[in-house]
Structure 1
Amino acid sequence: MKKITQVTLILLFSLLTFGVQAQSKSKLEQDLEDLRNWMNRKATEGDSITRAEWPAVKEEFKVRSKNLEQGSNKLTDQSKQEYGELKNRYSQWEAQNEERQGQPLDRETAARWERNLTGTGNIRNLKAGQMRDTYIRFMDSVRAQRTNWSLRDWDYAEHVYLVLNDRRQQVLANMNNSDKIKVAALQVEFNTLRKSRDAKDMYNNMREQR
């Protein structure tokens, strides 16, 4: 009887261990699928990843790949190969972005862009009551000029946008609700236009190839 009990315990322990390993392996395979889908989404965004967003993108890759890196020995050979390919693909993409994002903005050029897009060279001292009209002027300029902008031009436009946002945050408590809502809508529009740049480029490339 005692021997039967021991055998039963050994079997239960083996089944439990197998179940844990299977669950771990299943979780790793799911992590790999999630990483693959994330990489595909980022690939469609391409150069529309902004200077401000780039640090968060790098951190997200680290988080998504952490479990895979630690448990890679539990992956199947096929999954190991795919994970290696995804890491190489990301490394190439990161190098390209680091090269572009690492180029500092010229101070005089940045100041010129501030005046051009907002009508003022004094964004950092704007009053709460001036924010709405300044954002409107900014977005009117972006809509009118963006069709001819290069990636570098978008970097400068984003710089102006971030300076505006910093000043908005400083005076937010003194802005009325109507102005807050209007500015928020214009912020959404700017980000939408920035993200759509790649889609427009792909469309134009397709037309040129016909």
Structure 2
Amino acid sequence: MDKIKSTTRYIALLFLGLVLWNCEGRRELEETREIVRDIEEADTISVVRTGDAAEQELEEFRAWLNRQADKGDTAIRREWPEIREELRRKNAQLEEQFDSLSAESKEEFRDLQARYKRWEERQERRQQLPLQPALAAEWQERLLGEYGNISDIQPENIREAYLTFMGTVRTKRRNWTQEDWDYVDYVYSELNQRRREIQNQVRTADKLKIRTLQAEYLALEGSADTQDMLREVEE
């Protein structure tokens, strides 16, 4: 009888041990799964954050470049060494994060690089060969007509000044040389500088129209630079 009780107690303890082991094993398995999930989520968050950071860098890079191109010729000349170094630094930062950008953003970044490489080359050339003041004044009148005296442009007619400028660019651009474009770009930057001075007084509708015209100008200018490069290759 005692032997039977002893055997029964042993079996009960063994069963209890198996149950406890099974529970403990499940708990460890679940804990392991949670750890794996945490690691996977952390990796995902890290990738997303890296991608978001790169996209933000691109957005800031685009805005910074636009601000530089928007400056007047005098300001660009005065600040050029600093602008050039900052441009190269920002470009290098984005290059390091290039793989984290989306396919669309990668394409945009390369387009921005090409566009501002041309802009940088133009600024370098103009630093070495300054524009002639008399010729610059002549180009202002040629491009802006009645708005040739840029300092006299007011908030109510700044839109018309841009329309006049772009009208001339559209019709005359095909015959311009690289040197001509230097003067055109000078007038454009001075017009932008005047807009910045009176920005708070310009109507919203006029601001939107001006942005559209600016985008068109940059596209035409980029196209002209590309054609110049192709001609140089052919020669």
State the TM-score, normalized to the length of structure 2: 0.48
Aligned partners of 2:187 and 2:130: how far apart in 1?
A: 14
**Residue 152 of structure 1: how far off its partner (Å):** 1.0
CA RMSD of aligned residues (A): 3.4
Aligned partners of 1:131 and 1:61: how far apart in 2?
A: 33
Instruction: Give the corresponding residue for 1:116.
Output: 142
Q: Deviations over 1:71-128 (max 9, x none)?
A: xxxxxxxxxxxxxxxxxxxxxxx99974554211111110110000011331112110
Secondary structure in 1 matching 2:157: helix
Higher deviation after alignment, 94-103 or 143-152: 94-103
| Amino acid in the other structure paired with 2:185 | E
Q: Deviations over 1:145-181 (max 9, x none)?
A: 1111111111100111111111111111111111010
Aligned partners of 1:204 and 1:139: how far apart in 2?
A: 25
| Amino acid in the other structure paired with 2:129 | Q
Secondary structure in 2 matching 1:104: coil
Aligned partners of 1:203 and 1:151: how far apart in 2?
A: 12
1:66-145 matches, cutoff 5 A: 98-119=124-145, 120-145=147-172
Change in 2 beyond 3 A, CA 1:57/1:194: farther
Aligned partners of 1:100 and 1:133: how far apart in 2?
A: 28
| Amino acid in the other structure paired with 1:105 | L
Change in 2 beyond 3 A, CA 1:167/1:205: closer
Give structure 2 stretches of 5+ with no counterpart. Answer: 1-68, 94-119
Aligned 8 A contact 1:125 1:167 in 2: no
Larger Rg: 2
Percent identity over the alignment? Answer: 36
Aligned partners of 2:217 and 2:140: how far apart in 1?
A: 15
Instruction: Give the corresponding residue for 2:20.
Output: none
Match of 1:150 among 171, 177, 184: 177
Q: Deviations over 1:181-201 (max 9, x none)?
A: 001111111111111223334
Aligned 8 A contact 1:128 1:175 in 2: yes
**Residue 60 of structure 1: how far off its partner (Å):** 3.5
Runs (4+) off by over 6 Å: 63-66, 94-97
Change in 2 beyond 3 A, CA 1:170/1:121: same
State the TM-score, normalized to the length of structure 1: 0.53
Aligned 8 A contact 2:178 2:228 in 1: no
Instruction: Give the corresponding residue for 1:86.
Output: none
Aligned partners of 2:230 and 2:130: how far apart in 1?
A: 30
Instruction: Give the corresponding residue for 2:192.
Output: 165
Change in 2 beyond 3 A, CA 1:95/1:109: closer
Change in 2 beyond 3 A, CA 1:122/1:62: same
| Amino acid in the other structure paired with 1:136 | L
Give structure 1 stretches of 5+ with no counterpart. Answer: 1-48, 67-93
Instruction: Give the corresponding residue for 2:215.
Output: 188
Q: Deviations over 1:43-65 (max 9, x none)?
A: xxxxxx9x859754444336777
Instruction: Give the corresponding residue for 1:70.
Output: none
Aligned 8 A contact 1:113 1:157 in 2: yes
| Amino acid in the other structure paired with 2:128 | G
Aligned 8 A contact 1:124 1:163 in 2: no
